[in-house]
Amino acid sequence: MTTRESAELAQKLGVEIDPELLALALTHRSWAYENGGVPHNERLEFLGDSVLGQAVTVRLYRAHPELDEGSLAKRRAAVVSTVALAEVARGIDLGAYVALGRGEEQTGGREKDSILADTMEAVFGATYLSAGPDAASDLVLRLLEPLLSDPDRYGAAVDPKTALQELAARRSVAPPAYEVSSTGPDHDRRFTAVVVVGDHRAEGVGTSKKQAEMAAALCAWRDLTSRA
């Protein structure tokens, strides 16, 4: 990543992150493997997952005193899900900055929910190490605020397939129809789901059939609601 790109992303994030840590956060293991086994972002992802979980847990606990433990846990799981984090990552065009190996590049890795979500977590980890826990929590909550405060968008992140089905019913079009295909060996299989709603078609990818369908549903929901 160039200095200009690093500064551009840091500006989008609104926080100062050590350039070397930011570059590491954006280094996918596929790129690291193809370049002599250099370090990649999975350790930062591990750290960022904890930063994310704590920030969202505290936010939900304080904002919803009426909810019991089970309800809070369900909301937290939805907000920190792969599908939800991928939506957040797309909002800042994070995929454009990720260093990917040739194989992932050729199979649309920059749009894969799993890669986007993992990289987003790695960025949270890099922020924690660079600017401290408060800055990292602030970044998490700033980026996730649209999901936390918008009931419709939150509902789509929680259960995109149901949200899309309800949207189709409100617009009096045929219910969503899904087709799923897969590629790759059993230990590294990738699923692609295509959903058709009325005259609209959307696609999603994932490491399981369910994840791919959820990604496709969220993509379709996002496209259709933006037209309203």
Q: Strand order of the sheet with strand 190-197?
A: 177-183, 190-197, 200-206
Q: Is 121 annotated as a binding residue?
A: yes
Active site residue 42: no
H/E stretch holding 115: helix 113-131
The amino acid that residue 140 corresponds to is V
Label the pairing between strands 177-183 and 200-206: unpaired
Contacts of 69 (CB under 8 A, 6+ apart): none
The neighbouring-strand residues paired with 195 are: 178, 202
Of 113, 121, 166, 213, which is the active-site residue? 121
For residues 209, 213, 215 and 218, what is the CA-based torsion angle, rounded to 10 degrees? -160
Of 35, 206, 43, the closest CA to residue 122 belongs to 43
Burial 132-160 (b: 16+ CB within 10 A, else e): eeebbbbbbeebbeebbeeeebbbbbbbb
Active site residue 121: yes
Crossing angle of the two packed helices 160-170 and 209-227, in degrees rounded to 10: 40
Q: Is 45 annotated as a binding residue?
A: yes
- In the set 49, 87, 104, 213, the catalytic residue is 49
Q: Which residues are annotated as a binding site for Mg(2+)?
A: 45, 118, 121
Q: Which residues are annotated as a binding site?
A: 45, 118, 121
Q: Which residues are catalytic?
A: 49, 121
